[in-house]
Amino acid sequence: MEIKNFIREIDDYPEKGVSFKDITTLISNVKAFKFTLDVMEGFISSDIDYIASIDSRGFIFGSAISDRLGIPNILLRKKGKLPPPVISKEYELEYGQDTIEVGKITVPKNKKIMIIDDLIASGGTAKACLDLLEMCGNSVLGIIVAVKLQYLNPEKLFTEPIYSACEYN
**Domains defined along the chain, listed by start:** 45-168 (3.40.50.2020)
pTM of the model: 0.94
Q: 154, 141, 74: which is closest to 114 by C-alpha?
A: 141
Residue positions annotated with a catalytic role: 57, 94
**Amino acid occupying residue 142:** G
Written as tens digits, the pLDDT of the chain (169 aa) is 999 999 999 999 999 999 999 999 999 999 999 999 999 999 999 999 999 999 999 999 999 999 999 999 999 999 999 999 999 999 987 678 999 999 999 999 999 999 999 999 999 999 999 999 999 999 999 999 999 999 999 999 999 999 999 999 9
Tally of CB atoms within 10 A around 143: 27
Question: Is 54 exposed, middle or buried, given 0-12, 13-18 or 19+ CB atoms closer than 10 A?
Answer: buried
DSSP letter string, 27-90 = HTSHHHHHHHHHHHHTT--TT--EEEEETTHHHHHHHHHHHHHT--EEEEEETTSSPSSEEEEE
DSSP state of 15: S
End-to-end CA distance of the chain: 18
For residue 63, what are the contacts with CB-CB under 8 A and spacing of at least 6?
A: 53, 73
- Give the Cα separation of 163 and 168 in Å (integer): 13
CA-angle at 1, arms to 126 and 144, nearest 5°: 15
Angle between helices 30-41 and 57-69 (to 10 degrees): 70
